[in-house]
Amino acid sequence: MEANMEYIVGQVMQKDLGRRLQVGQEIIDYILDRQKSHDLEQDQTMLDRMVDGLATTWVNSSNFKVALLGMDIVSALVTRLQNRFKPQIGTVLPSLTDRLGDTKDQVRDQAQALLLKIMDQAANPQYVWDRMLGGFKHKNNRTREAVCFCLISTLNIYGAQGLTLSKIVPHICSLLGDPTSQVRDGAMNCLVEIYRHVGERVRMDLGKKGLPQSRLNVIFSKFDEVQRSGNMVLSAGE
C-alpha cells in the first residue's frame, strides 16, 4: 500500500519490537522522500503523535536496537524539517538525555550526536541547553557525567559566543561536590573548557559562587595549566 502519514504513525505506535525493527527503515525512507511524505508538514497533530511515540516508546526502549533505530528516525525528521523541528525539541530531549547515560557506548554516542545535530539544524545551542539543564541533576550519575561531555562538545563545535554560560555554570559548580568521582571530574573538565574559550572572566565569576577556597585553588591551578600550555581558544581581540 502507498504509505501516508496515518499509516506511518500507525507503524510508530505499534508495540511489537520485532515489527518495529522491520519497519524502521521504511519510516526513514518515507520521511526523507519529499514526494511520498508531502503531508508530513501539513498534519501537525499527526506529526506531534509521531514524535511523541518515537520519544516515549522507541528512543526510551529497553531494547538498544529499537532505541538506536528510534534516534535514526528522529535524525531523519531533523534532516527533513530543519528549523520546523524546533517545536518538537521539548518532546525528544528528556528521552535523549536519559540515553546519554545508557550502559551501551553506541547508544550514548548516538544520543550525543543527535543532540548536536539538533543544535546545528533545528535550533541554536542555547535554546537546546535551556531545556537540557535538568540533565545536570539527573538521577543517573552516568547521565550527569555525559551532559558535561556534551557541553564540552558543544563548545568545541559552536564556540562560546552562542551560549549564555552564566546560566549553565552554576549547574556545573553544583556537580563539583557530586558523590561520583567521574561526575566531579566531568564538571571540572567542563569548567576548564569554558575557561579555555572565555578566559579570565570565568575565574572572576567562580570567585563569587561561594565555592570552598580549597576547591577554587584546584580549579584555578588547572586554569593556570591551560594558560601556560598555549591551548586557549580566545581570539586576539578579546
Q: Domains, the chain, ranges and CATH? A: 1-123 (1.25.10.10), 144-233 (1.25.10.10)
Predicted pLDDT at 110: 98
Predicted pLDDT at 178: 96
CB contact at 8 A, 73 and 54: yes
Q: From the CB of residue 24, how many other CB atoms can be counted at a distance below 10 Å?
A: 20
Tens digits of per-residue pLDDT, 100-159? 999 999 999 999 999 999 999 999 999 999 999 999 999 999 999 999 999 999 999 999
Q: Among 169, 105, 93, which residue's Cα sits nearest to residue 138? A: 93
For residue 236, name the pLDDT band (cuts at 50, 70, 90).
very low
For residue 161, name the pLDDT band (cuts at 50, 70, 90).
confident
Query: What is the SS3 assignment for 102?
Result: coil
Predicted pLDDT at 42: 83
Grid coordinates standing for 200? 579570565
Tens digits of per-residue pLDDT, 162-179? 899 999 999 999 999 999
CA 172 to chain centre: 16
Predicted pLDDT at 40: 87
Using the predicted structure, report yes or no on whether residue 62 has a pLDDT greater than 70.
Answer: yes
Tens digits of per-residue pLDDT, 12-54? 999 999 999 999 999 999 999 998 888 888 888 999 999 999 9
Q: In whole angstroms, what is the distance from residue 63 CA to residue 21 CA? A: 10
